[in-house]
A and B are shown apart, each in its own frame.
Chain A
Protein backbone atom coordinates (compact mmCIF):
# COMPACT_ATOMS: atom_id res chain seq x y z
CA UNK A 1 0.00 0.00 0.00
CA UNK A 2 2.75 2.39 0.90
CA UNK A 3 4.39 1.91 -2.44
CA UNK A 4 1.46 3.66 -4.06
CA UNK A 5 2.13 6.88 -2.18
CA UNK A 6 5.74 6.91 -3.30
CA UNK A 7 6.76 9.47 -5.86
CA UNK A 8 7.63 7.93 -9.18
CA UNK A 9 11.28 7.32 -9.90
CA UNK A 10 13.80 4.85 -8.53
CA UNK A 11 15.75 7.09 -6.20
CA UNK A 12 12.82 7.87 -3.93
CA UNK A 13 12.60 4.41 -2.50
CA UNK A 14 16.28 4.11 -1.89
CA UNK A 15 16.38 7.50 -0.16
CA UNK A 16 13.47 6.59 2.06
CA UNK A 17 15.10 3.36 3.14
CA UNK A 18 18.26 5.26 3.93
CA UNK A 19 16.59 7.74 6.29
CA UNK A 20 14.62 4.99 7.96
CA UNK A 21 17.88 3.14 8.52
CA UNK A 22 19.44 6.30 9.92
CA UNK A 23 16.74 6.65 12.57
CA UNK A 24 16.87 2.96 13.41
CA UNK A 25 20.66 3.11 13.62
CA UNK A 26 20.43 5.99 16.08
CA UNK A 27 18.21 3.86 18.31
CA UNK A 28 20.29 0.69 18.04
CA UNK A 29 23.56 2.54 18.56
CA UNK A 30 22.33 4.79 21.35
CA UNK A 31 23.77 2.78 24.28
CA UNK A 32 27.11 2.33 22.53
CA UNK A 33 27.34 5.99 21.52
CA UNK A 34 26.46 7.17 25.00
CA UNK A 35 29.06 4.80 26.45
CA UNK A 36 31.65 5.92 23.92
CA UNK A 37 31.19 9.56 24.91
CA UNK A 38 30.71 9.23 28.68
CA UNK A 39 32.77 6.14 29.61
CA UNK A 40 35.54 6.19 26.99
CA UNK A 41 36.15 9.34 24.91
CA UNK A 42 35.23 11.88 27.60
CA UNK A 43 37.45 10.24 30.22
CA UNK A 44 40.26 9.98 27.64
CA UNK A 45 40.17 13.72 27.03
CA UNK A 46 39.92 14.38 30.73
CA UNK A 47 42.87 12.15 31.54
CA UNK A 48 44.86 13.94 28.84
CA UNK A 49 44.04 17.21 30.56
CA UNK A 50 44.74 15.82 34.04
CA UNK A 51 48.16 14.64 32.94
CA UNK A 52 49.19 18.29 32.78
CA UNK A 53 47.87 19.01 36.27
CA UNK A 54 48.67 18.18 39.88
CA UNK A 55 45.16 16.87 40.63
CA UNK A 56 45.03 14.82 43.84
CA UNK A 57 41.27 14.33 44.37
CA UNK A 58 41.22 16.61 47.43
CA UNK A 59 42.05 20.02 46.02
CA UNK A 60 41.32 21.56 42.64
CA UNK A 61 43.49 20.66 39.68
CA UNK A 62 46.20 23.21 38.91
CA UNK A 63 47.61 23.33 35.42
CA UNK A 64 51.30 22.62 35.83
CA UNK A 65 52.38 22.35 32.22
CA UNK A 66 55.14 19.86 31.67
CA UNK A 67 55.90 19.25 35.36
CA UNK A 68 54.62 15.69 35.24
CA UNK A 69 56.79 14.89 32.23
CA UNK A 70 59.75 16.48 33.97
CA UNK A 71 58.99 14.33 36.99
CA UNK A 72 58.76 11.21 34.84
CA UNK A 73 62.25 11.77 33.48
CA UNK A 74 63.66 11.85 37.02
CA UNK A 75 61.49 9.10 38.47
CA UNK A 76 63.66 6.11 39.32
CA UNK A 77 60.72 3.88 40.23
CA UNK A 78 59.11 4.65 36.88
CA UNK A 79 62.33 3.64 35.12
CA UNK A 80 62.42 0.47 37.20
CA UNK A 81 58.79 -0.38 36.46
CA UNK A 82 59.34 0.21 32.75
CA UNK A 83 62.35 -2.11 32.79
CA UNK A 84 60.46 -4.79 34.71
CA UNK A 85 57.47 -4.53 32.37
CA UNK A 86 59.54 -4.61 29.18
CA UNK A 87 61.44 -7.69 30.38
CA UNK A 88 58.19 -9.36 31.36
CA UNK A 89 56.47 -8.55 28.07
CA UNK A 90 59.33 -9.38 25.73
CA UNK A 91 60.43 -12.54 27.49
CA UNK A 92 57.11 -14.11 28.38
CA UNK A 93 55.15 -13.38 25.19
CA UNK A 94 57.53 -15.11 22.72
CA UNK A 95 58.00 -18.11 25.03
CA UNK A 96 54.25 -18.35 25.52
CA UNK A 97 53.62 -18.22 21.77
CA UNK A 98 56.35 -20.80 21.11
CA UNK A 99 54.64 -23.22 23.51
CA UNK A 100 51.26 -22.42 21.98
CA UNK A 101 52.48 -23.02 18.44
CA UNK A 102 54.46 -26.14 19.31
CA UNK A 103 51.57 -27.85 21.05
CA UNK A 104 49.09 -26.72 18.40
CA UNK A 105 51.23 -28.39 15.71
CA UNK A 106 51.50 -31.60 17.74
CA UNK A 107 47.75 -31.61 18.43
CA UNK A 108 46.82 -30.83 14.84
CA UNK A 109 48.27 -34.04 13.43
CA UNK A 110 45.05 -36.04 13.52
CA UNK A 111 45.50 -37.06 17.10
CA UNK A 112 42.96 -39.02 19.09
CA UNK A 113 41.70 -37.19 22.17
CA UNK A 114 42.41 -33.78 20.64
CA UNK A 115 39.51 -32.04 22.34
CA UNK A 116 40.46 -33.38 25.76
CA UNK A 117 44.08 -32.23 25.45
CA UNK A 118 42.91 -28.90 24.09
CA UNK A 119 40.61 -28.39 27.07
CA UNK A 120 43.31 -29.26 29.60
CA UNK A 121 45.83 -26.90 28.02
CA UNK A 122 43.23 -24.17 27.69
CA UNK A 123 41.99 -24.29 31.29
CA UNK A 124 44.95 -22.38 32.82
CA UNK A 125 44.26 -19.47 30.44
CA UNK A 126 40.89 -19.01 32.10
CA UNK A 127 42.22 -19.29 35.63
CA UNK A 128 45.60 -17.56 35.16
CA UNK A 129 44.36 -14.02 35.71
CA UNK A 130 42.47 -14.86 38.90
CA UNK A 131 43.52 -13.85 42.38
CA UNK A 132 43.21 -17.48 43.46
CA UNK A 133 45.89 -18.69 41.08
CA UNK A 134 48.17 -15.78 41.98
CA UNK A 135 47.75 -16.83 45.62
CA UNK A 136 48.63 -20.36 44.61
CA UNK A 137 51.70 -19.18 42.69
CA UNK A 138 52.92 -17.26 45.67
CA UNK A 139 52.70 -20.42 47.73
CA UNK A 140 54.16 -22.74 45.08
CA UNK A 141 57.28 -20.58 44.81
CA UNK A 142 57.55 -19.73 48.52
CA UNK A 143 60.56 -20.67 50.63
CA UNK A 144 58.90 -23.92 51.71
CA UNK A 145 56.58 -24.08 48.72
CA UNK A 146 55.85 -26.87 46.30
CA UNK A 147 58.85 -26.20 44.06
CA UNK A 148 61.35 -26.27 46.89
CA UNK A 149 59.74 -29.34 48.47
CA UNK A 150 60.19 -31.04 45.15
CA UNK A 151 63.80 -29.87 44.79
CA UNK A 152 64.54 -31.08 48.32
CA UNK A 153 63.86 -34.64 47.13
CA UNK A 154 66.99 -34.29 45.03
CA UNK A 155 68.88 -32.66 47.87
CA UNK A 156 68.66 -29.20 46.33
CA UNK A 157 68.05 -26.31 48.68
CA UNK A 158 65.96 -23.93 46.58
CA UNK A 159 65.86 -20.17 47.19
CA UNK A 160 62.78 -18.19 48.19
CA UNK A 161 61.77 -17.63 44.59
CA UNK A 162 59.19 -14.97 45.33
CA UNK A 163 61.18 -13.26 48.08
CA UNK A 164 64.41 -12.89 46.12
CA UNK A 165 64.65 -9.92 43.72
CA UNK A 166 66.61 -11.96 41.20
CA UNK A 167 63.98 -14.67 40.73
CA UNK A 168 60.61 -13.07 41.58
CA UNK A 169 59.96 -11.75 38.08
CA UNK A 170 60.81 -15.13 36.54
CA UNK A 171 58.03 -16.79 38.52
CA UNK A 172 55.55 -14.32 37.05
CA UNK A 173 56.93 -14.94 33.57
CA UNK A 174 56.38 -18.64 34.17
CA UNK A 175 52.81 -17.96 35.28
CA UNK A 176 52.21 -16.08 32.05
CA UNK A 177 53.74 -18.84 29.93
CA UNK A 178 51.47 -21.31 31.75
CA UNK A 179 48.47 -19.59 30.15
CA UNK A 180 49.48 -20.42 26.57
CA UNK A 181 46.16 -22.22 25.92
CA UNK A 182 44.26 -19.27 24.46
CA UNK A 183 46.77 -18.51 21.66
CA UNK A 184 47.11 -22.28 21.17
CA UNK A 185 43.39 -22.54 20.35
CA UNK A 186 43.76 -19.71 17.82
CA UNK A 187 46.74 -21.49 16.24
CA UNK A 188 44.74 -24.71 16.05
CA UNK A 189 41.94 -22.94 14.20
CA UNK A 190 44.52 -21.46 11.82
CA UNK A 191 46.25 -24.77 11.19
CA UNK A 192 42.95 -26.28 10.16
CA UNK A 193 42.72 -23.77 7.31
CA UNK A 194 45.99 -24.85 5.66
CA UNK A 195 45.09 -27.12 2.73
CA UNK A 196 46.30 -30.68 3.36
CA UNK A 197 47.32 -30.95 -0.31
CA UNK A 198 50.32 -28.71 0.38
CA UNK A 199 51.71 -31.24 2.83
CA UNK A 200 50.90 -34.15 0.55
CA UNK A 201 52.69 -32.50 -2.37
CA UNK A 202 55.67 -31.67 -0.16
CA UNK A 203 56.02 -35.20 1.18
CA UNK A 204 55.81 -36.57 -2.37
CA UNK A 205 58.75 -34.28 -3.12
CA UNK A 206 60.56 -35.84 -0.16
CA UNK A 207 60.39 -32.90 2.24
CA UNK A 208 60.98 -33.81 5.88
CA UNK A 209 58.54 -32.89 8.65
CA UNK A 210 60.78 -30.03 9.73
CA UNK A 211 61.09 -28.72 6.17
CA UNK A 212 57.32 -28.90 5.82
CA UNK A 213 56.91 -26.98 9.06
CA UNK A 214 59.33 -24.29 7.92
CA UNK A 215 58.18 -23.88 4.34
CA UNK A 216 54.44 -24.52 4.65
CA UNK A 217 53.17 -24.19 8.21
CA UNK A 218 55.12 -21.10 9.28
CA UNK A 219 54.38 -18.94 6.22
CA UNK A 220 50.75 -20.03 6.00
CA UNK A 221 50.27 -19.40 9.70
CA UNK A 222 52.22 -16.14 9.81
CA UNK A 223 49.15 -13.86 9.82
CA UNK A 224 47.91 -15.70 12.89
CA UNK A 225 51.31 -15.64 14.56
CA UNK A 226 51.25 -11.91 13.94
CA UNK A 227 47.73 -11.56 15.34
CA UNK A 228 48.68 -13.50 18.48
CA UNK A 229 51.85 -11.46 18.85
CA UNK A 230 50.03 -8.12 18.65
CA UNK A 231 47.29 -9.17 21.08
CA UNK A 232 49.79 -10.93 23.34
CA UNK A 233 52.00 -7.87 23.69
CA UNK A 234 49.07 -5.53 24.29
CA UNK A 235 47.70 -7.89 26.93
CA UNK A 236 51.04 -8.48 28.65
CA UNK A 237 51.70 -4.74 28.99
CA UNK A 238 48.50 -4.51 31.03
CA UNK A 239 49.16 -7.38 33.46
CA UNK A 240 48.35 -6.41 37.00
CA UNK A 241 46.69 -8.99 39.26
CA UNK A 242 49.57 -11.48 39.46
CA UNK A 243 52.16 -8.89 40.45
CA UNK A 244 49.76 -7.22 42.84
CA UNK A 245 48.90 -10.41 44.72
CA UNK A 246 52.38 -11.90 44.76
CA UNK A 247 53.92 -8.73 46.16
CA UNK A 248 51.03 -7.64 48.41
CA UNK A 249 50.43 -4.63 46.18
CA UNK A 250 53.94 -3.27 46.59
CA UNK A 251 55.79 -4.65 43.58
CA UNK A 252 58.57 -6.04 45.75
CA UNK A 253 61.03 -7.40 46.60
CA UNK A 254 63.13 -4.32 45.76
CA UNK A 255 60.57 -3.32 43.10
CA UNK A 256 61.50 -6.42 41.09
CA UNK A 257 57.83 -7.09 40.27
CA UNK A 258 56.75 -3.47 40.01
CA UNK A 259 54.70 -3.81 36.84
CA UNK A 260 53.89 -0.54 35.10
CA UNK A 261 50.18 -0.87 35.86
CA UNK A 262 50.98 -1.57 39.50
CA UNK A 263 53.03 1.62 39.74
CA UNK A 264 50.21 3.51 38.05
CA UNK A 265 47.75 2.07 40.58
CA UNK A 266 50.00 3.08 43.49
CA UNK A 267 50.35 6.62 42.18
CA UNK A 268 46.66 7.06 41.37
CA UNK A 269 44.78 5.08 43.96
CA UNK A 270 47.14 4.75 46.92
CA UNK A 271 48.91 8.13 46.85
CA UNK A 272 46.07 9.86 44.95
CA UNK A 273 48.50 11.56 42.59
CA UNK A 274 45.83 11.44 39.93
CA UNK A 275 47.47 13.96 37.64
CA UNK A 276 50.68 11.98 37.59
CA UNK A 277 48.79 8.69 37.21
CA UNK A 278 47.03 10.12 34.17
CA UNK A 279 50.36 11.08 32.65
CA UNK A 280 51.56 7.53 33.31
CA UNK A 281 48.44 6.13 31.64
CA UNK A 282 49.07 8.17 28.51
CA UNK A 283 52.70 7.09 28.42
CA UNK A 284 51.46 3.48 28.61
CA UNK A 285 49.08 4.11 25.71
CA UNK A 286 51.90 5.66 23.67
CA UNK A 287 54.26 2.77 24.44
CA UNK A 288 51.66 0.18 23.44
CA UNK A 289 50.80 2.14 20.28
CA UNK A 290 54.50 2.45 19.42
CA UNK A 291 55.19 -1.27 19.80
CA UNK A 292 52.02 -2.16 17.90
CA UNK A 293 53.07 0.16 15.07
CA UNK A 294 56.58 -1.34 15.00
CA UNK A 295 54.97 -4.76 14.94
CA UNK A 296 52.84 -3.84 11.94
CA UNK A 297 55.82 -2.34 10.13
CA UNK A 298 58.05 -5.35 10.74
CA UNK A 299 55.22 -7.68 9.75
CA UNK A 300 55.61 -6.57 6.12
CA UNK A 301 58.83 -8.55 6.04
CA UNK A 302 57.65 -11.83 7.48
CA UNK A 303 53.88 -12.10 7.36
CA UNK A 304 52.64 -13.86 4.27
CA UNK A 305 49.14 -13.22 2.94
CA UNK A 306 48.01 -15.52 0.19
CA UNK A 307 45.41 -13.14 -1.22
Chain B
Protein backbone atom coordinates (compact mmCIF):
# COMPACT_ATOMS: atom_id res chain seq x y z
CA UNK B 1 0.00 0.00 0.00
CA UNK B 2 3.00 2.27 -0.26
CA UNK B 3 1.88 3.37 -3.68
CA UNK B 4 -1.10 5.13 -2.17
CA UNK B 5 0.90 8.06 -0.87
CA UNK B 6 2.58 8.79 -4.17
CA UNK B 7 -0.47 8.48 -6.39
CA UNK B 8 -3.33 9.80 -4.29
CA UNK B 9 -4.04 13.50 -4.36
CA UNK B 10 -3.43 15.32 -1.08
CA UNK B 11 -6.06 13.88 1.19
CA UNK B 12 -8.58 15.84 3.18
CA UNK B 13 -7.20 19.33 2.89
CA UNK B 14 -8.39 21.40 5.81
CA UNK B 15 -11.03 23.86 4.61
CA UNK B 16 -9.48 27.22 3.75
CA UNK B 17 -9.87 29.64 6.58
CA UNK B 18 -11.94 32.59 5.46
CA UNK B 19 -10.12 35.91 5.68
CA UNK B 20 -12.58 37.24 8.23
CA UNK B 21 -11.23 34.82 10.83
CA UNK B 22 -8.01 36.82 11.03
CA UNK B 23 -7.85 39.33 13.81
CA UNK B 24 -8.67 42.73 12.40
CA UNK B 25 -5.11 43.99 12.79
CA UNK B 26 -3.68 41.19 10.71
CA UNK B 27 -6.47 41.72 8.20
CA UNK B 28 -5.58 45.36 7.74
CA UNK B 29 -1.91 44.51 7.50
CA UNK B 30 -2.47 41.87 4.83
CA UNK B 31 -4.76 44.22 2.93
CA UNK B 32 -2.08 46.92 2.88
CA UNK B 33 0.41 44.27 1.82
CA UNK B 34 -1.83 43.19 -1.02
CA UNK B 35 -2.36 46.77 -2.22
CA UNK B 36 1.38 47.35 -2.12
CA UNK B 37 2.00 44.16 -4.03
CA UNK B 38 -0.51 45.13 -6.71
CA UNK B 39 1.00 48.60 -6.98
CA UNK B 40 4.43 47.08 -7.44
CA UNK B 41 3.21 44.56 -10.01
CA UNK B 42 1.31 47.18 -11.99
CA UNK B 43 4.41 49.38 -12.03
CA UNK B 44 6.55 46.44 -13.17
CA UNK B 45 4.05 45.52 -15.89
CA UNK B 46 3.96 49.12 -17.07
CA UNK B 47 7.77 49.33 -17.28
CA UNK B 48 7.81 46.02 -19.18
CA UNK B 49 5.28 47.19 -21.73
CA UNK B 50 6.56 50.75 -22.05
CA UNK B 51 8.98 50.19 -24.94
CA UNK B 52 6.27 48.42 -26.94
CA UNK B 53 3.69 51.13 -26.27
CA UNK B 54 6.26 53.77 -27.17
CA UNK B 55 6.97 52.02 -30.46
CA UNK B 56 3.27 51.96 -31.35
CA UNK B 57 2.94 55.63 -30.39
CA UNK B 58 6.05 56.53 -32.37
CA UNK B 59 4.75 54.80 -35.48
CA UNK B 60 1.82 57.26 -35.37
CA UNK B 61 3.88 60.43 -34.85
CA UNK B 62 5.53 62.74 -37.35
CA UNK B 63 9.23 61.83 -37.63
CA UNK B 64 10.50 64.97 -35.90
CA UNK B 65 8.43 64.18 -32.81
CA UNK B 66 9.83 60.65 -32.46
CA UNK B 67 13.16 62.18 -31.55
CA UNK B 68 11.73 64.35 -28.83
CA UNK B 69 8.84 62.39 -27.27
CA UNK B 70 9.25 59.84 -24.58
CA UNK B 71 5.53 59.70 -23.81
CA UNK B 72 3.11 57.10 -25.07
CA UNK B 73 0.33 59.56 -25.90
CA UNK B 74 0.20 60.91 -29.40
CA UNK B 75 -0.52 64.63 -29.91
CA UNK B 76 -0.44 64.85 -33.68
CA UNK B 77 -1.62 61.70 -35.37
CA UNK B 78 0.32 60.96 -38.51
CA UNK B 79 -0.68 57.67 -40.07
CA UNK B 80 1.40 58.21 -43.20
CA UNK B 81 4.21 55.97 -41.90
CA UNK B 82 2.08 52.91 -42.53
CA UNK B 83 1.53 53.41 -46.28
CA UNK B 84 5.09 54.80 -46.61
CA UNK B 85 6.65 51.78 -44.92
CA UNK B 86 4.34 49.40 -46.75
CA UNK B 87 5.71 50.57 -50.10
CA UNK B 88 9.29 51.44 -49.14
CA UNK B 89 10.96 48.22 -50.30
CA UNK B 90 11.22 46.37 -53.61
CA UNK B 91 7.69 45.04 -53.25
CA UNK B 92 4.74 46.01 -51.05
CA UNK B 93 5.00 44.70 -47.51
CA UNK B 94 2.08 42.36 -48.20
CA UNK B 95 4.50 40.31 -50.32
CA UNK B 96 6.74 39.67 -47.32
CA UNK B 97 3.76 38.89 -45.15
CA UNK B 98 2.64 36.36 -47.72
CA UNK B 99 6.11 34.76 -47.88
CA UNK B 100 6.18 34.45 -44.10
CA UNK B 101 2.66 33.04 -44.13
CA UNK B 102 3.64 30.33 -46.61
CA UNK B 103 6.69 29.34 -44.57
CA UNK B 104 4.76 29.37 -41.32
CA UNK B 105 1.85 27.35 -42.68
CA UNK B 106 4.17 24.77 -44.24
CA UNK B 107 6.10 24.48 -40.99
CA UNK B 108 2.96 24.07 -38.90
CA UNK B 109 1.49 21.34 -41.10
CA UNK B 110 4.83 19.57 -41.21
CA UNK B 111 5.31 19.63 -37.46
CA UNK B 112 1.76 18.44 -36.82
CA UNK B 113 2.01 15.47 -39.16
CA UNK B 114 5.56 14.28 -38.59
CA UNK B 115 5.89 14.94 -34.85
CA UNK B 116 2.55 13.34 -33.98
CA UNK B 117 3.49 10.21 -35.94
CA UNK B 118 6.84 9.90 -34.20
CA UNK B 119 5.25 10.62 -30.84
CA UNK B 120 2.70 7.83 -31.33
CA UNK B 121 5.51 5.37 -32.03
CA UNK B 122 7.49 6.43 -28.96
CA UNK B 123 4.48 6.49 -26.66
CA UNK B 124 2.54 3.43 -27.80
CA UNK B 125 4.61 1.05 -29.92
CA UNK B 126 7.14 -1.50 -28.87
CA UNK B 127 10.15 -1.80 -31.16
CA UNK B 128 13.85 -2.61 -31.01
CA UNK B 129 16.23 0.14 -29.80
CA UNK B 130 13.29 2.19 -28.60
CA UNK B 131 15.08 3.56 -25.56
CA UNK B 132 18.18 4.55 -27.49
CA UNK B 133 16.11 6.13 -30.24
CA UNK B 134 14.20 8.11 -27.64
CA UNK B 135 17.43 9.26 -26.02
CA UNK B 136 18.81 10.36 -29.40
CA UNK B 137 15.59 12.26 -30.05
CA UNK B 138 15.93 14.08 -26.72
CA UNK B 139 19.55 14.95 -27.44
CA UNK B 140 18.64 16.55 -30.76
CA UNK B 141 16.49 19.04 -28.85
CA UNK B 142 19.67 20.41 -27.29
CA UNK B 143 21.70 20.48 -30.49
CA UNK B 144 22.60 24.01 -31.64
CA UNK B 145 21.48 24.62 -35.21
CA UNK B 146 24.92 26.11 -35.92
CA UNK B 147 26.51 22.66 -35.90
CA UNK B 148 24.45 21.54 -38.88
CA UNK B 149 23.76 24.79 -40.71
CA UNK B 150 26.88 24.81 -42.92
CA UNK B 151 26.39 21.27 -44.32
CA UNK B 152 22.67 21.92 -44.63
CA UNK B 153 23.45 25.00 -46.69
CA UNK B 154 25.77 22.94 -48.89
CA UNK B 155 23.10 20.24 -49.22
CA UNK B 156 20.37 22.66 -50.28
CA UNK B 157 22.80 24.51 -52.57
CA UNK B 158 23.69 21.25 -54.32
CA UNK B 159 20.01 20.49 -54.77
CA UNK B 160 19.60 24.02 -56.15
CA UNK B 161 17.06 24.84 -53.46
CA UNK B 162 18.61 27.97 -51.96
CA UNK B 163 16.12 30.81 -52.51
CA UNK B 164 13.16 28.54 -52.24
CA UNK B 165 11.06 27.87 -49.15
CA UNK B 166 12.01 24.17 -49.20
CA UNK B 167 14.95 24.43 -46.74
CA UNK B 168 12.64 26.20 -44.30
CA UNK B 169 9.65 23.88 -44.63
CA UNK B 170 10.84 20.38 -45.56
CA UNK B 171 12.82 19.74 -42.33
CA UNK B 172 9.62 20.33 -40.36
CA UNK B 173 7.96 17.50 -42.31
CA UNK B 174 10.86 15.33 -41.13
CA UNK B 175 10.20 16.00 -37.44
CA UNK B 176 13.42 17.93 -36.83
CA UNK B 177 11.68 20.04 -34.17
CA UNK B 178 12.04 17.21 -31.69
CA UNK B 179 10.79 19.38 -28.85
CA UNK B 180 7.27 18.85 -30.14
CA UNK B 181 7.73 15.06 -30.34
CA UNK B 182 8.66 15.14 -26.67
CA UNK B 183 5.67 17.33 -25.83
CA UNK B 184 3.30 14.99 -27.67
CA UNK B 185 4.83 11.84 -26.16
CA UNK B 186 4.20 13.26 -22.71
CA UNK B 187 0.64 14.04 -23.71
CA UNK B 188 -0.13 10.63 -25.26
CA UNK B 189 1.21 8.89 -22.13
CA UNK B 190 -1.61 10.60 -20.26
CA UNK B 191 -4.27 9.04 -22.51
CA UNK B 192 -5.62 5.78 -21.01
CA UNK B 193 -4.30 2.71 -22.82
CA UNK B 194 -7.65 0.96 -22.38
CA UNK B 195 -8.98 3.11 -25.21
CA UNK B 196 -6.57 1.77 -27.80
CA UNK B 197 -6.80 -1.74 -26.39
CA UNK B 198 -10.56 -1.69 -26.81
CA UNK B 199 -10.14 -0.52 -30.38
CA UNK B 200 -7.57 -3.21 -31.04
CA UNK B 201 -9.99 -5.87 -29.82
CA UNK B 202 -12.49 -4.45 -32.30
CA UNK B 203 -9.91 -5.13 -34.99
CA UNK B 204 -8.44 -1.69 -35.49
CA UNK B 205 -4.83 -1.41 -36.68
CA UNK B 206 -2.32 1.21 -35.55
CA UNK B 207 -3.20 3.59 -38.36
CA UNK B 208 -6.82 3.57 -37.33
CA UNK B 209 -6.03 3.83 -33.60
CA UNK B 210 -3.72 6.76 -34.29
CA UNK B 211 -6.13 8.61 -36.56
CA UNK B 212 -9.42 7.84 -34.86
CA UNK B 213 -8.54 7.67 -31.18
CA UNK B 214 -5.22 9.28 -30.32
CA UNK B 215 -5.22 12.28 -32.67
CA UNK B 216 -8.69 13.54 -31.68
CA UNK B 217 -7.74 13.24 -28.01
CA UNK B 218 -4.45 15.09 -28.39
CA UNK B 219 -5.93 18.26 -29.82
CA UNK B 220 -4.56 20.37 -26.93
CA UNK B 221 -1.02 19.15 -27.67
CA UNK B 222 -1.56 19.82 -31.38
CA UNK B 223 -2.81 23.32 -30.57
CA UNK B 224 0.27 23.98 -28.45
CA UNK B 225 2.48 22.78 -31.30
CA UNK B 226 0.63 24.95 -33.81
CA UNK B 227 1.00 28.11 -31.76
CA UNK B 228 4.63 27.62 -30.81
CA UNK B 229 5.56 26.71 -34.39
CA UNK B 230 3.72 29.78 -35.59
CA UNK B 231 5.54 32.14 -33.25
CA UNK B 232 9.00 30.57 -33.53
CA UNK B 233 8.86 30.36 -37.32
CA UNK B 234 7.45 33.87 -37.67
CA UNK B 235 10.27 35.20 -35.47
CA UNK B 236 13.02 33.01 -36.90
CA UNK B 237 15.72 35.15 -38.44
CA UNK B 238 18.90 33.08 -38.62
CA UNK B 239 17.84 30.35 -41.05
CA UNK B 240 15.66 32.65 -43.16
CA UNK B 241 18.58 35.08 -43.48
CA UNK B 242 20.82 32.26 -44.67
CA UNK B 243 18.50 30.46 -47.07
CA UNK B 244 16.74 33.45 -48.65
CA UNK B 245 18.81 36.03 -50.51
CA UNK B 246 16.35 36.94 -53.27
CA UNK B 247 14.48 40.09 -52.14
CA UNK B 248 11.25 38.78 -53.66
CA UNK B 249 11.37 35.81 -51.32
CA UNK B 250 12.26 37.71 -48.17
CA UNK B 251 10.17 36.84 -45.18
CA UNK B 252 9.07 39.53 -42.74
CA UNK B 253 12.15 39.46 -40.43
CA UNK B 254 14.60 39.53 -43.34
CA UNK B 255 12.63 42.30 -45.02
CA UNK B 256 12.60 44.36 -41.82
CA UNK B 257 16.32 43.94 -41.57
CA UNK B 258 16.90 45.14 -45.12
CA UNK B 259 14.57 48.02 -44.29
CA UNK B 260 17.08 49.15 -41.66
CA UNK B 261 19.85 49.20 -44.26
CA UNK B 262 17.72 51.07 -46.78
CA UNK B 263 16.19 53.62 -44.46
CA UNK B 264 18.92 54.24 -41.92
CA UNK B 265 17.87 57.31 -39.97
CA UNK B 266 15.73 58.66 -42.78
CA UNK B 267 12.42 57.42 -41.46
CA UNK B 268 12.21 55.68 -38.16
CA UNK B 269 8.48 56.21 -38.31
CA UNK B 270 7.95 53.80 -41.20
CA UNK B 271 10.43 51.33 -39.74
CA UNK B 272 8.43 51.34 -36.52
CA UNK B 273 5.18 51.09 -38.46
CA UNK B 274 6.34 47.95 -40.26
CA UNK B 275 7.76 46.58 -37.01
CA UNK B 276 4.32 46.98 -35.48
CA UNK B 277 2.78 45.24 -38.50
CA UNK B 278 5.24 42.37 -38.14
CA UNK B 279 4.36 41.91 -34.47
CA UNK B 280 0.57 41.92 -34.95
CA UNK B 281 0.35 38.23 -36.00
CA UNK B 282 2.39 37.17 -32.96
CA UNK B 283 0.24 39.30 -30.74
CA UNK B 284 -2.92 37.74 -32.16
CA UNK B 285 -1.49 34.23 -31.77
CA UNK B 286 -0.68 35.15 -28.19
CA UNK B 287 -4.22 36.33 -27.50
CA UNK B 288 -5.88 33.34 -29.13
CA UNK B 289 -3.48 30.70 -27.88
CA UNK B 290 -2.51 31.96 -24.45
CA UNK B 291 -3.87 28.93 -22.65
CA UNK B 292 -1.89 26.52 -24.83
CA UNK B 293 1.25 28.65 -24.71
CA UNK B 294 1.22 28.75 -20.93
CA UNK B 295 0.45 25.04 -20.73
CA UNK B 296 3.18 24.20 -23.22
CA UNK B 297 5.77 26.25 -21.36
CA UNK B 298 4.66 24.95 -17.98
CA UNK B 299 4.72 21.27 -18.97
CA UNK B 300 8.27 21.55 -20.30
CA UNK B 301 9.33 22.38 -16.77
CA UNK B 302 7.20 19.68 -15.18
CA UNK B 303 8.72 16.32 -14.42
Contact = CB atoms under 8 A, between A and B. Distances in A.
Interface in A222-258: 223-224, 227-228, 234, 237-238, 240-241, 244-245, 248
A124 B294 contact: no
A185 interface: yes
B297 A140 contact: no
B101 interface: no
Interface stretch (B76-84, B218-226, B230-238): B230-238
Contacts of A170: none
A35 B256 contact: no
Interface in B29-60: 34, 37-38, 40-41, 44-45, 48-49, 51-52, 54-55, 58
A178 B45 CA distance: 11
A31 B175 contact: yes
Given A18-B126, A35-B176, A42-B151, A122 B294 contact: yes
Contact of A185 (B44, B260, B294): B294
A131 B278 contact: yes
Nearest to A273: B150
Given A146-B51, A238-B144, A244-B237, A38 B174 contact: yes
19 contacts: A21-B127, A35-B171, A43-B148, A43-B152, A118-B294, A119-B290, A120-B48, A122-B293, A124-B48, A126-B286, A127-B52, A136-B275, A144-B67, A146-B70, A149-B68, A150-B70, A190-B301, A190-B302, A244-B237
Contacts of B140: 36, 40
A147 B250 CA distance: 32
A189 interface: yes
Contacts of A284: 144, 146-147
A250 B186 CA distance: 42
A121 interface: yes
Given A32-B181, A277-B150, A288 B144 contact: yes
Interface string A56-70: 010000000000000
Contact of B54 (A35, A47, A140): A140
Contacts of B282: 126-127, 130
Given A32-B114, A136-B272, A131 B256 contact: yes
Interface of A: 17-18, 20-22, 24-26, 28-32, 34-36, 38-40, 42-44, 46-47, 50, 57, 103, 106-107, 109, 111-113, 117-124, 126-127, 129-133, 135-137, 139-140, 144, 146, 149-150, 153, 178, 182, 185-190, 195-197, 223-224, 227-228, 234, 237-238, 240-241, 244-245, 248, 261, 264-265, 268-269, 274, 277-278, 280-282, 284-285, 288, 292, 307
B301 A228 contact: yes
A135 B150 contact: no
B197 to A, nearest CB: 11
Contacts of B68: 144, 149
A36 B257 CA distance: 32
B181 A189 contact: no
A149 B70 contact: yes
A156 B299 CA distance: 46
B149 A281 contact: yes
